[in-house]
A and B are shown apart, each in its own frame.
Chain A
Amino acid sequence: DGGITQSPKYLFRKEGQNVTLSCEQNLNHDAMYWYRQDPGQGLRLIYYSQIVNDFQKGDIAEGYSVSREKKESFPLTVTSAQKNPTAFYLCASSIGEGGTEAFFGQGTRLTVV
Chain B
Amino acid sequence: GEDVEQSLFLSVREGDSSVINCTYTDSSSTYLYWYKQEPGAGLQLLTYIFSNMDMKQDQRLTVLLNKKDKHLSLRIADTQTGDSAIYFCAESFDGGFKTIFGAGTRLFVKA
- A: residues with CB less than 8 A from B are 4, 6, 31, 35, 40-45, 48, 50, 90, 92, 94, 96-107, 109
Contacts and interface: CB of A to CB of B under 8 A. Distances in A.
Interface of chain B, helix or strand or loop or mixed?
strand
B96 A96 contact: yes
Interface stretch (B53-61, B73-81, B101-109): B101-109
Nearest to B4: A42
A107 B96 contact: no
B31 to A, nearest CB: 6
A42 B101 contact: yes
A105 to B, nearest CB: 5
B97 A97 contact: yes
Interface of B: 4, 8, 31, 35, 40-45, 48, 88, 90, 95-104
Nearest to A38: B103
A90 B42 contact: yes
Given A97-B95, A98-B96, A102-B45, 15 more contacts: A42-B100, A42-B101, A42-B103, A42-B104, A43-B88, A44-B101, A50-B97, A90-B42, A100-B48, A100-B96, A101-B45, A103-B45, A106-B42, A107-B41, A109-B40
A106 B92 CA distance: 22
Given A40-B8, A90-B42, A107-B42, A102 B100 contact: no
Contacts of A97: 95-97
A104 B4 contact: no
Contacts of B90: 42
Contacts of A48: 97
A59 to B, nearest CB: 9
B43 A90 contact: yes
Nearest to A33: B99
Given A40-B103, A42-B101, A42-B102, A99 B96 contact: yes
A49 to B, nearest CB: 10
B46 to A, nearest CB: 10
Contact of B48 (A40, A98, A101, A107): A101
